């Protein structure tokens, strides 16, 4: 965890967090994951501020898995700030949410989200989806240099 | 209303009397002219007639005078002839014989009887045979006359003897004779050539001459002929006078002292027509002429009055005619004037009736009425209601104008208002009026423009106090505002409720699904991590937990979808149903489990709708058909459309298990299912979504089917007219 963080998981629900991590582990992708509980912490972590003072992670992140319903600062706002900042706009962001609301979906895409995934209730499907997206963004996708 | 009201109408009455004044002047002019013409014509005619009559009379006078002269001349010549006859020829020889033998009684008797005969035929009083010394030798006489010749006879006899010719004596009055007489002496020559005797013819003019002189051939009142002669400075009237009882030769006038006496003028040698005054001093017209071979002058005269009497009577006639004409003319003109006056009065009466009617109307109406001058916007008249409502007296009002009572009046706009009022029958405007006490009230003014036949047009305006209406309007507006506020409040409340609902569904989707996912996930972990220590029954129970969690997850998902479709704002676009249908069919591949299903799509028209929502409809219907054909040997699904009443009816037909028509009403209700979960999985939300979406597009859904005979679902949508037209 102290090494390069490649996946930032922003998730306030510890049970979902555990399931997500478990799914990533199955694909051996859990080594470079950092978990934050709310939007504010996510921004602090990325920009190296607050409790993460002195260490920015914006350059190492390969993907951010972002829940929308978050305490303090909502997922949509985090998404907006990152996509509006030239330093972070290239970091791929995948919204991972239970919300099937069209409004959320449209808003997210408008703000520049790279992928929007509705968390399936079905465990198998959930595990598969998380595994697939981890693999895709970390291994298959070629980020700009 | 005061006595001054109705000025505008009064004007019309006054105007109506205008022609009356004119006709009066005209009439007087005509009468004056007529009078002048008649008088002039009458006078001219009278003058002409008078001159004619005068000339006629004078000519008549002259003709009569000429006739008289001729008669007198012939009378004289007859007398002279008589004298010659008795002094020559057979009578002379007999006279001479008598002179030789004066005792011859037979001769004497024959001469006397002859002369007596001559006396009666020639108008002589007596015939004498006298000696040259005037001694009577023989006398033939009529009546009791003197046997002795008059003293004048002696002179004549001696003259005759001396001149040896017939001497015609003159009228004389002598003491021997009662009457004026006249002697003619004719000398009788003897055998020796000496005068032997003289025949003396004594004439009494009364018998023949005077009647001859005095007779007048035409009836006349004053006509008279006078024989006059001059004796020194005197003119002597020889015959008897018509108008004065006097003996002949007794009337004498001084010639030099009587310039205008016609007789004097005659003896002075004047001839022809002479106007003067006769012996009576009466104006006369006379014709003067000397009688040839005699010292006599004849004066034929008629009173000037008589001559002019006819002219005067003609003049009277003419005057009468003129007067009659004038009377007729005056009567005619007066009649005409009277008629015109009558019609004027009638007109005035009508105008007054109109006026009183107008007054009555003006008084009766409960609105303020103004009669306005279209030029100046000043009031010509107002009614009582107006005065009482505005607080001014009538006298004050008629001196005021629109500007004085309308605080928002602008004279610049006035011509425009007038023009509009002229164009349209009536014009209604709203404004504000201000009373004398300064209070204001809203009014509705109806104007009507009246064209007077001549002179000034006017505008009748009636103003109605619309305070109450305005108040009602403002209250209505207030209520409207209140209603709008209420609606807004309600809307806001509804929006708030909607927002709450959204928030609720949001949390449902997020917060309810997360624990379910955990239940499923962690149950699975339990199975994975502790599978070896859990027996089959434990694993079955874990399976139930997981199944239930999934089922509930699906319910929530479907419920949210339904809610979303109900709340979603529809974005209407043109939808190509052919491509959408194929799209959706591909989307359902996962549902088909690799089964071979025949899917036929007819030629579908474009429709107008929300693409996401319509896609949901197709997806649900196709998914349904796919689900319920699961048991069919040769599953078939058909999608087709037909136009019906401007709407497009789509039809999804399958040969699946179908349904009992008894439950067709339940098909489209939420969570209503006709099959058990064991037979066919599902939450009973799909058709409810279809129904809701089609309803929100203004269409209808229905279904037909029978158990084991397949099902047909219909839904209608509006055709896209623009798209159809473009095609």
Nearest-CA distance from B543 to chain A in Å?
Answer: 12
User: What is the C-alpha to C-alpha distance for residues B253 and B299, in angstroms, rounded to an integer?
Assistant: 14
Minimum-distance CB partner of B514 among A98, A100, A122 = A98
pLDDT of residue B147: 64
| ∠ CA B426-B429-B431, rounded to 5° | 150
Nearest-CA distance from B571 to chain A in Å?
Answer: 13
In tens, the pLDDT along B570-602 reads 888 888 889 899 989 988 888 888 888 888 888
Strand B647-654, strand B636-644: pairing: antiparallel
Contact A121 B557 (CB under 8 A): yes
Q: Say yes or no to pLDDT of B712 above 50.
A: yes
Question: Helix H segments across B88-164?
Answer: 89-100, 105-122, 151-163
User: Chain A residue closest to B516 (CA)?
Assistant: A121
Contact B561 A98 (CB under 8 A): no
DSSP state of B511: I
pTM equals 0.40
B399, B401, B466: which is closest to B432 by C-alpha?
B466
Question: What would the DSSP string read from start to end of A48-115?
Answer: T-GGGTT---TTT-SEEEE-SS-SSS-HHHHHHHHHHSTTTTTS-EEEEES---HHHHHHHHHHT-SE
Q: Say yes or no to pLDDT of A77 above 80.
A: yes
Chain A interface includes B550 (CB < 8 A): yes
Show Cβ contacts of residue B162 under 8 Å, excluding neighbours closer than 6 positions.
none
End-to-end CA distance of chain A: 23
A97 CB neighbours in chain B (<8 A) are 510
User: Chain B residue closest to A103 (CA)?
Assistant: B568
Task: Please give the average per-residue pLDDT across B147-159, as a whole number.
Answer: 78
A15 CB neighbours in chain B (<8 A) are 514-515, 517-518, 521-522
Report the greatest alpha carbon distance in chain A: 41
Are the C-beta atoms of B662 and B674 separated by less than 8 Å? no
User: What is the C-alpha to C-alpha distance for residues B112 and B106, in angstroms, rounded to an integer?
Assistant: 10
Instruction: Please give the structure tokens belonging to residue A77.
Output: 């706002």
User: Chain A residue closest to B559 (CA)?
Assistant: A100
Report the greatest alpha carbon distance in chain B: 249
The CA dihedral of B25, B27, B30, B32, to the nearest 10 degrees, is: -70
Q: Say yes or no to pLDDT of B2 above 70.
A: no
pLDDT of residue A110: 92
Chain A interface includes B521 (CB < 8 A): yes
pLDDT of residue A79: 92
Minimum-distance CB partner of A122 among B506, B520, B522 = B520
Mean pLDDT (chain B) is 82
B564 CB neighbours in chain A (<8 A) are 100-102
In angstroms, the Cα distances linking B704 to B391, B433, B714 are 82, 73, 8
**How many CB atoms lie under 10 A from the CB of residue B193?**
8
pLDDT of residue B4: 41
Percent with pLDDT over 90 in chain B:
3
In tens, the pLDDT along B113-149 reads 888 888 888 778 888 888 888 888 888 876 655 567 7
Chain A interface includes B452 (CB < 8 A): no
Minimum-distance CB partner of B509 among A101, A120, A126 = A101
Strand B607-610, strand B647-654: pairing: unpaired
Give whichever of A52-56, B12-16, B181-185, B247-251 has the largest mean pLDDT. B181-185
B562 CB neighbours in chain A (<8 A) are none
B522 CB neighbours in chain A (<8 A) are 15, 19
Tell me whether residue B508 is exposed, middle or buried, using C-beta atoms within 10 angstroms of its C-beta: 0 to 12, 13 to 18, 19 or more.
middle
Q: Say yes or no to pLDDT of B688 above 50.
A: yes
Q: Residue B29 belongs to what H/E stretch? A: helix B7-87
Helix (H, G, I), strand (E, B) or coil at B192: coil
Residue B725, phi then psi, degrees to nearest 5: -65, -40
pLDDT of residue B5: 42
Nearest-CA distance from A133 to chain B in Å?
Answer: 18
User: What is the C-alpha to C-alpha distance for residues B336 and B330, in angstroms, rounded to an integer?
Assistant: 10
Residue that is written with structure tokens 């520049």 in the block: A112
In angstroms, the Cα distances linking B203 to B127, B138, B702 are 9, 17, 173
pLDDT of residue B11: 47
Contact B522 A15 (CB under 8 A): yes
Contact B546 A19 (CB under 8 A): no
b/e map B268-296, b = 16+ CB within 10 Å = bebeeebebebbeeeebbbbbbbbeeeeb
Chain A interface includes B101 (CB < 8 A): no
Residue that is written with structure tokens 């005409």 in the block: B336
Q: Where are the beta strands (DSSP E) in B550-694?
A: 572-575, 598-601, 607-610, 636-644, 647-654
Are the C-beta atoms of B565 and B557 separated by less than 8 Å? no
Confidence of residue B329 (pLDDT cuts 50, 70, 90): confident
Instruction: Please give the structure tokens belonging to residue A3.
Output: 């090494």
Contact A97 B550 (CB under 8 A): no
Q: Say yes or no to pLDDT of B6 above 50.
A: no
Chain A interface includes B510 (CB < 8 A): yes
Confidence of residue B45 (pLDDT cuts 50, 70, 90): confident
Task: Please give the average per-residue pLDDT across B302-314, as a whole number.
Answer: 80
Confidence of residue B652 (pLDDT cuts 50, 70, 90): very high
Residue B436, phi then psi, degrees to nearest 5: -60, -35
Confidence of residue B19 (pLDDT cuts 50, 70, 90): low
Torsion B346-B347-B349-B354 (CA) sign: positive
In angstroms, the Cα distances linking B48 to B42, B84, B283 are 10, 53, 22
pLDDT of residue A80: 92
Contact B520 A15 (CB under 8 A): no
HSE of B353, CA atoms in CB hemisphere, 13 A: 6
Give whichever of B253-267, B369-383, B475-489, B679-693 has the largest mean pLDDT. B475-489
User: Chain A residue closest to B506 (CA)?
Assistant: A99
Rg of chain A, C-alpha, whole Å: 14
Task: Please give the average per-residue pLDDT across B632-640, as a whole number.
Answer: 89
pLDDT of residue B347: 80
B556 CB neighbours in chain A (<8 A) are 121
Are the C-beta atoms of B552 and B519 separated by less than 8 Å? no
Contact B564 A19 (CB under 8 A): no
Chain A interface includes B611 (CB < 8 A): no
Nearest-CA distance from A46 to chain B in Å?
Answer: 25
Instruction: Please give the structure tokens belonging to residue B545.
Output: 């937990």
Minimum-distance CB partner of B506 among A16, A101, A124 = A101
Task: Please give the average per-residue pLDDT across B463-478, as a whole number.
Answer: 88
B568 CB neighbours in chain A (<8 A) are 102
Chain A interface includes B516 (CB < 8 A): yes
Chain A interface includes B283 (CB < 8 A): no
ipTM of the complex: 0.73
Task: Tell me which residues of chain A have a C-beta less than 8 Å from any C-beta of chain B.
Answer: 13, 15-16, 19, 22, 68-69, 97-102, 119-124, 126-127
Percent with pLDDT over 70 in chain B:
93
Instruction: Please give the structure tokens belonging to residue B602.
Output: 């007819």
In angstroms, the Cα distances linking B87 to B154, B165, B199 are 17, 10, 7
A74, A73, A79, A77: which is closest to A95 by C-alpha?
A79
Contact A98 B568 (CB under 8 A): no
User: Chain A residue closest to B510 (CA)?
Assistant: A98
User: Chain B residue closest to A98 (CA)?
Assistant: B510
| ∠ CA B365-B368-B374, rounded to 5° | 115
Tell me whether residue A43 is exposed, middle or buried, using C-beta atoms within 10 angstroms of its C-beta: 0 to 12, 13 to 18, 19 or more.
buried
pLDDT of residue B144: 58
A122 CB neighbours in chain B (<8 A) are 520, 550, 553
Contact A123 B521 (CB under 8 A): yes
pLDDT of residue B15: 45
Are the C-beta atoms of B266 and B297 separated by less than 8 Å? yes
Three-state SS letters, B342-370: HHHHHHHHHHHHHHHHHHHHHHHCCCEEE
Which residues, numbered 616 to 675 in chain B, qualify as contacts with chain A under a Cβ-Cβ cut-off of 8 Å? none
* Cα–chain center distance at A52: 17
pLDDT of residue B145: 56
B561 CB neighbours in chain A (<8 A) are 100
User: What is the C-alpha to C-alpha distance for residues B560 and B507, in angstroms, rounded to an integer?
Assistant: 11
User: What is the C-alpha to C-alpha distance for residues B250 and B169, in angstroms, rounded to an integer?
Assistant: 18
Task: Please give the average per-residue pLDDT across B32-51, as a whole number.
Answer: 86
User: What is the C-alpha to C-alpha distance for residues B251 and B279, in angstroms, rounded to an integer?
Assistant: 9
Q: What residues are paired with B203 via a beta bridge?
A: B124, B182
Contact B517 A126 (CB under 8 A): yes
Are the C-beta atoms of B377 and B402 separated by less than 8 Å? yes
Contact B513 A121 (CB under 8 A): yes
Confidence of residue A109 (pLDDT cuts 50, 70, 90): very high
pLDDT of residue B516: 84
Phi-psi category of residue B12: left, alpha or beta, with phi > 0 → left and psi -120 to 50 → alpha: alpha
Q: Say yes or no to pLDDT of B271 above 80.
A: yes
pLDDT of residue A1: 41
User: What is the C-alpha to C-alpha distance for residues B493 and B490, in angstroms, rounded to an integer?
Assistant: 5
Q: Say yes or no to pLDDT of B646 above 80.
A: no
Helix (H, G, I), strand (E, B) or coil at B431: strand
User: Chain A residue closest to B503 (CA)?
Assistant: A101
Residue that is written with structure tokens 């023989």 in the block: B138
Best of A14, A121, A126, A131 to mutate (most B CBs within 10 Å, chain B): A121
Minimum-distance CB partner of A98 among B513, B521, B550 = B513
| ∠ CA B464-B470-B473, rounded to 5° | 140
**How many CB atoms lie under 10 A from the CB of residue B200?**
29
Confidence of residue B13 (pLDDT cuts 50, 70, 90): very low
B80, B81, B73, B66: which is closest to B209 by C-alpha?
B73
């Amino acid at each position: 965890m102290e090494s390069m963080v490649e996946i930032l998981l922003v998730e306030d629900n510890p049970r979902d967090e555990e399931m997500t991590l478990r799914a990533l582990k199955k694909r051996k992708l859990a080594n470079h994951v950092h978990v934050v509980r709310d939007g504010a912490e996510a921004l602090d972590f990325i920009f190296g501020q607050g409790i993460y003072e002195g260490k920015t992670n914006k350059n190492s992140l390969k993907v951010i898995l972002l829940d929308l319903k978050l305490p303090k600062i909502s997922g949509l706002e985090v998404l907006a700030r990152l996509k509006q900042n030239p330093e972070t706009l290239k970091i791929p962001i995948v919204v991972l949410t239970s919300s099937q609301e069209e409004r959320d979906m449209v808003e997210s895409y408008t703000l520049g989200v790279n992928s929007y995934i509705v968390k399936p209730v079905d465990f198998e499907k959930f595990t598969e989806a998380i595994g697939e997206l981890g693999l895709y963004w970390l291994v298959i996708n070629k980020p700009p240099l | 209303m005061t006595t001054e009201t109705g000025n505008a109408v009064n004007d019309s009455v006054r105007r109506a009397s205008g022609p009356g004044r004119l006709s009066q002047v005209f009439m007087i002019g005509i009468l004056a002219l007529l009078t002048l013409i008649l008088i002039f014509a009458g006078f001219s005619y009278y003058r002409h007639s008078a001159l004619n009559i005068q000339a006629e009379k004078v000519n008549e006078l002259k003709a009569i005078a000429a006739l008289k002269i001729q008669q007198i001349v012939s009378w004289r010549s007859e007398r002279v002839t008589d004298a010659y006859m008795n002094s020559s020829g057979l009578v002379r020889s007999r006279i001479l014989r008598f002179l030789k033998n004066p005792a011859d009684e037979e001769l004497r008797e024959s001469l006397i009887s002859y002369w007596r005969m001559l006396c009666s035929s020639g108008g002589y009083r007596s015939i004498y045979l006298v000696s040259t010394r005037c001694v009577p030798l023989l006398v033939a006489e009529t009546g009791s006359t003197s046997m002795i010749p008059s003293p004048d006879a002696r002179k004549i006899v001696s003259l005759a003897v001396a001149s040896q010719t017939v001497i015609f004596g003159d009228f004389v009055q002598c003491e021997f004779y009662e009457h004026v007489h006249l002697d003619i002496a004719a000398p009788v020559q003897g055998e020796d050539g000496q005068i032997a005797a003289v025949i003396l013819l004594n004439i009494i003019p009364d018998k023949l001459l005077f009647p001859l002189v005095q007779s007048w051939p035409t009836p006349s009142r004053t006509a008279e002929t006078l024989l006059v002669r001059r004796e020194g400075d005197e003119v002597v009237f020889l015959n008897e006078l018509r108008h004065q009882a006097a003996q002949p030769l007794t009337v004498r006038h001084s010639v030099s002292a009587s310039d205008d006496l016609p007789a004097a003028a005659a003896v002075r040698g004047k001839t022809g027509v002479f106007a003067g005054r006769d012996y009576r001093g009466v104006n006369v017209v006379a014709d003067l002429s000397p009688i040839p071979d005699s010292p006599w002058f004849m004066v034929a005269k008629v009173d000037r009055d008589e001559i002019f009497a006819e002219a005067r009577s003609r003049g009277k006639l003419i005057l009468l005619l003129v007067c009659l004409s004038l009377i007729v003319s005056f009567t005619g003109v007066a009649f005409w004037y009277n008629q015109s006056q009558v019609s004027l009065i009638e007109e005035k009466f009508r105008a007054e009736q109109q006026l009183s009617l107008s007054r009555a109307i003006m008084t009766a109406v409960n609105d303020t009425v103004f009669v306005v001058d279209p030029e100046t916007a000043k009031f010509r008249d107002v009614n009582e209601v107006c005065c009482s409502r505005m607080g001014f007296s009538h006298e004050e009002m008629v001196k005021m104008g629109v500007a004085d009572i309308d605080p928002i009046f602008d004279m610049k706009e006035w011509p425009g208002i007038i023009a509009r009022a002229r164009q349209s029958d009536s014009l209604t405007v709203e404004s504000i009026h201000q009373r004398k006490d300064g209070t204001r009230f809203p009014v509705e003014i109806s104007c009507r423009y009246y064209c007077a036949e001549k002179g000034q047009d006017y505008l009748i305006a009636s103003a109605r106090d619309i305070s109450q209406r305005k108040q009602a309007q403002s209250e209505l507006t207030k209520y409207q505002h209140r209603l709008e506020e209420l609606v807004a409040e309600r809307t806001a409340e509804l929006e708030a409720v909607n927002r709450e609902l959204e928030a609720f569904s949001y949390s449902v989707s997020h917060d309810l699904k997360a624990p379910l996912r955990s239940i499923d996930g962690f149950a699975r972990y339990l199975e994975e991590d502790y599978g070896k220590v859990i027996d089959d029954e434990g694993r079955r129970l874990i399976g139930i937990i997981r199944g239930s969690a999934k089922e509930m997850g699906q319910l929530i998902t479907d419920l949210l979808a339904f809610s979303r479709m109900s709340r979603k704002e529809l974005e209407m676009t043109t939808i190509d149903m052919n491509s959408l249908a194929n799209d959706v069919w591909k989307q359902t591949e996962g549902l088909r489990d690799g089964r071979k299903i025949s899917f036929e799509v007819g030629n579908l028209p474009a429709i107008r709708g929300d693409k996401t929502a319509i896609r949901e409809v197709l997806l649900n219907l196709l998914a349904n058909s796919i689900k319920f054909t699961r048991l069919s040997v040769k599953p078939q699904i058909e999608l087709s459309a037909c136009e019906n009443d401007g709407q497009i009816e789509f039809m999804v037909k399958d040969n699946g298990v179908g349904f009992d028509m008894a439950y067709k009403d339940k098909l489209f209700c939420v969570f209503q299912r006709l099959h058990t979960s064991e037979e066919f999985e599902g939450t009973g939300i799909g058709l409810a979504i279809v129904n809701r979406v089609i309803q929100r597009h203004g269409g209808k859904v229905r279904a037909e089917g029978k158990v084991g005979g397949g099902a047909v679902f219909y839904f209608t949508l509006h055709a896209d007219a623009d798209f159809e037209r473009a095609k």
